[in-house]
Structure 1
Amino acid sequence: MSMHPRHPASGPSEDPWERTTAPLPSEANPSWMGHVEPGNYRPAPGHQGGPVGAVVPPQVQGAVPGSRRSRSGLLVLTLGGSALAFLSLFLVVPFLLSATGTAGFLVGFVASLLPLSVVLLAVHIIDKWEPEPKRLLYFAFTWGSAVSIAVTLLIQPFFVVAFQFSDQADLQTYMATVQAPIVEEFAKSLGLLILLLLARKHFDGPVDGVVFAFTIAGGFAFTENILYFGRAIAESADPASSFAQVFFLRGVMSPFAHAIFTGTTGLIMGYAARRWHTGASVAAFLVGLLPAMFLHNRWNSMGQGFLVDYILVQVPIFFLAVGGIVLLRVAEKRLTRQRLLEYSAAGWFTPAEVELLGTVGGRRTALKWAAGYGRRQHMKEFLKAATQLANTRQRILSGRDVSLHQAEERQQLQRILALRAAVTG
């Protein structure tokens, strides 16, 4: 397997990162996800056949501007998220114990791990092409399972005070169909907004938005399930039967309910983050709340005709969500392949290598080949680096913070050659 860049014909030396304009190739937009405006397009920097040090201007070698800021952003999210989650437990845990009792809490906790595992497995599958940093996924989960629950508990009393109901049934309906969709979706999606503001480098597309949203929603549903499962045991004269009914409803029939609600917000925010600047992306947070709240309201509004509504409305919504995620994955792969082809045209990869790096079958073949030489881990890092490089190029072509992303591109191209050497031995 060739792992060496082809070299363009020799010619006058020039700065390969100098801003140049070029016509927008017809294949530059392989899907709706990676749309590039003609005025933002520029060729990939050329590989001149020498070591990368000769290609990269000396004044920009070394630390990449913004990389320290990116690491500090991850650190702030990790530490800040952990602190908020820890403080939230002082509110969340007593609330759960008071509603479920110790036995109900323990049973609910264990039972809630099952639907959580299903959601996290889906996150792993969706995130497999371009895995997000584990620290960000940790933040997302702790936000959903602790912080968003605490925010909900703090805000929801204001909804009760604001509206007076003489009938308990009307109050319960109001809390389920108005308060819960508004407060819970706001609390969950607030974590998405924080990720967008502090980890923009990693939150730059619809797939990222769905991954983070599913993780947050999975954490929220996990804690909420502890409440419902535990309360079914604590408050029923027939705990086993009540628990089985609630578990079937929430753990079997609807493990992805919260994920689909919040996933619509993450999708809209991710699409906005790819196309526009931070201000418009923040506005997308508010817009993205609307479909999430609507879907949440429709779910909680199902009453005596629950089974009919579930089959005719909720099941089609679920399959529509699955189809949408599949389309997102396909678009993401096409975008990666196209951007790598542009680096191939500049001499960094051969076309055959792009097929290995930019397709599922090619990656499987590459990993199998590398495993035969004891270099599977090196190949995995090479595949990940190539995907990150393609995403960096997409950010460059978006026209946002171009010089910052070009500096990141320089460092990534250096790493690509180093990883290439490790793979080939």
Structure 2
Amino acid sequence: MLSDPLTPAVADPSGTGPDREVVRARRRNGLSVPVDPSMPLPRRVLRDWRTWVSLGLVVLFVGAFLANWILFVPEHTMPSGTIQGLGTDVLPGAARLAAFTGVPLTILFILADRVRPQSLWLWLVALVWGGLVATGISAPLNTWAAAHLSVIGNGDPATSMRGAVFIAPFVEEAAKATVLFGIAILMRNRVTTWLSSISLAGLAGTGFAFVENIIYYGRVFRYVSSTTGTGDAQQAMNQLALMRGGMTFFAHPLFTMMTGIGLAVALRARSKRVRVLAPLTGFLVAALLHMVFNFTASSGGQVGLMLWFVALSVVAAMVGLAINQVRRERALVHARVTDFARLGWLHPDDADAFSRARIRSRALWEAFWAGPSTYLATVRIQHSATELAYLRDAIHRGLVDATGEAREAEVLRRIEQLRAVAVVVPQGAVEYPWQRWRRTLRQRREEGLPAWGGLLRGPTPHGPLGSSSTEYSPVDPRWGPPKQ
């Protein structure tokens, strides 16, 4: 039985903003904190924790970029040898080869996050974290762990099979998964679907693979170009790009997606054991797959080919799981929106309009050509309806207490406000601007009017004088020269 979500939120008796108990309850449940509309915008921005987290992340990303540059671009002398740096001249070519798979994978994971899309900010955080922070953490930790475990190599885990199999998987998967756990802790009200977790995990893995491919492509180019009798450097780099970017492009995103699945299970579970064991299991599965992948790459031969086909089967299974999850998430949104529609809080057509991908896409397309304000309102109303559905489902599961009802009331009011401007149900064929212009021109020709409405013509020579021209008042007979 649904309780009435239109109960107003508890306000501060002083009238200065939301009550502190309400704020604490919202944060405890992972819900958005109500904003005081009377507070000036600069003060609201400064008091928003996301502002300071964003600034901290920017500083962290810049520092990680500089650390990666110092680690990989110049040469480094180790006790057991010299690690040749990439240099600046090889970076553009290596980056282009890495982008052939990095860019399509990024677009694919963003498009996969369809039911309740995350913000561009979260997508960028996951992608850049994997590309800069995770690589900056993994390289020194791999070297440190290999040195303490007496693994033979020159400081690069790729030069030692034991380091690549037993050290790198745990270090790299932990570095990539850190951003997922951070987002889940700080913004768990946003990561409410499996698709969101898979998308963010895939972006983190894609960013890591992109930078790692640049490093490997650059190193093989440097090695071949500086070693006699090893062939053409560009050809060697292209062959490695075909192997890593063509045949095994799915590796790092697939590994991190396992951690994302475990995290998604934990966020939707009531059991405390499941909340602890599910992410841990996902991480261990990711590390295990990473170990098998590195062992395959190091061993080669028929065993490697067999394991490669096994990996393709896992990728196909993940694609099927994602497609099935899209259907389940759509059904969940439809069921929960139907609950509100039956009680009269939403329109009867809203269940189909907010849950079916085709209707949502057509509504966005129609709103796009209707103007920026209509398009923005349509995006917001679709996001609000999806948030409302998942919030009601969380209350039904016992993941959110009665505090969620106040948030439901806010979302319902926002939907009603946006409905007057947004496109909820598309009305049919879209009239594009050029079609509207041609229709207007045809009507003016039929009426005998100029095509452009006289906008380019000068003033009519015999027409009345305008307000901006010189006008003469009527002559008064009493006017005349002064009499003597």
Is 2:363 the partner of 1:366? Answer: yes
Do 2:130 and 2:206's aligned partners in 1 also have CA atoms closer than 8 Å?
Answer: yes
Matched residues, percent identical? 24
Name the counterpart of 1:294. 288
Name the counterpart of 1:34. none
Do 2:126 and 2:179's aligned partners in 1 also have CA atoms closer than 8 Å?
Answer: yes
The structure with more helix, counted as a fraction of residues: 1
Name the counterpart of 2:120. 134
Do 1:100 and 1:227's aligned partners in 2 also have CA atoms closer than 8 Å?
Answer: yes
Quick one: which of 220, 225, 242 aligns to 1:232?
220
- Tell me the secondary structure at the aligned position of residue 86 of structure 2: helix
Is 2:168 the partner of 1:180? Answer: yes
Quick one: which of 315, 322, 328 aligns to 1:325?
322
- Tell me the secondary structure at the aligned position of residue 301 of structure 1: helix
Deviations 1:153-186 (A, max 9, x none): 2321332123224688997111111111111001
Name the counterpart of 1:30. none
Name the counterpart of 1:3. none
1:8-407 superposed matches below 5 A? 22=1, 43=2, 45=4, 55-57=6-8, 59=10, 65=23, 66=26, 67-68=32-33, 72-98=48-74, 99-165=85-151, 172-237=160-225, 238-276=232-270, 281=275, 283-302=277-296, 303-305=299-301, 308-309=305-306, 311-367=308-364, 370=367, 374=371, 375-407=374-406
Separation in structure 1 between the aligned mates of residue 418 and residue 136 of structure 2, nearest angstrom:
44
Residues 311, 175 of structure 1: alpha-carbon distance in 2 compared, 3 angstrom cutoff? closer
Residues 390, 113 of structure 1: alpha-carbon distance in 2 compared, 3 angstrom cutoff? same
Do 1:77 and 1:139's aligned partners in 2 also have CA atoms closer than 8 Å?
Answer: no
Do 1:78 and 1:139's aligned partners in 2 also have CA atoms closer than 8 Å?
Answer: no
Residues 349, 293 of structure 1: alpha-carbon distance in 2 compared, 3 angstrom cutoff? same
Is 2:407 the partner of 1:413? Answer: no
Residues 103, 258 of structure 1: alpha-carbon distance in 2 compared, 3 angstrom cutoff? same
- Please report the TM-score for the alignment, with normalisation by the length of structure 2: 0.71
Deviations 1:34-89 (A, max 9, x none): xxxxxxxxx1537xxxxxxxx44374597574434999453344222222222222
Tell me the CA shift for residue 298 of structure 1.
Answer: 1.1
Listed as ranges, the gaps of 5+ residues in structure 1 are: 1-21, 23-42, 47-54
Separation in structure 1 between the aligned mates of residue 131 and residue 355 of structure 2, nearest angstrom:
35
- Tell me the secondary structure at the aligned position of residue 422 of structure 1: coil
- Tell me the secondary structure at the aligned position of residue 103 of structure 1: coil
Read off the aligned partner of 1:86 and give its amino acid letter: V
Aligned length: 376
Do 2:262 and 2:280's aligned partners in 1 also have CA atoms closer than 8 Å?
Answer: no
Tell me the CA shift for residue 92 of structure 1.
Answer: 0.8
Tell me the CA shift for residue 226 of structure 1.
Answer: 0.9
Residues 122, 419 of structure 1: alpha-carbon distance in 2 compared, 3 angstrom cutoff? same
Deviations 1:230-280 (A, max 9, x none): 112111141111111111111122222111101010011011111247886
Read off the aligned partner of 1:390 and give its amino acid letter: A
Read off the aligned partner of 1:415 and give its amino acid letter: R
Q: Relative to structure 2, which stretch is displaced further, 309-318 or 319-328? A: 309-318
Do 2:153 and 2:159's aligned partners in 1 also have CA atoms closer than 8 Å?
Answer: yes
Tell me the CA shift for residue 138 of structure 1.
Answer: 1.9
* RMSD of aligned residue pairs (Cα, Å): 2.8
Read off the aligned partner of 2:161 and give its amino acid letter: T
- Please report the TM-score for the alignment, with normalisation by the length of structure 1: 0.80
- Tell me the secondary structure at the aligned position of residue 402 of structure 1: coil
Separation in structure 1 between the aligned mates of residue 409 and residue 103 of structure 2, nearest angstrom:
39
Residues 299, 424 of structure 1: alpha-carbon distance in 2 compared, 3 angstrom cutoff? closer
Tell me the CA shift for residue 381 of structure 1.
Answer: 2.2
Name the counterpart of 1:26. none
Tell me the CA shift for residue 228 of structure 1.
Answer: 0.9
Do 1:145 and 1:223's aligned partners in 2 also have CA atoms closer than 8 Å?
Answer: yes
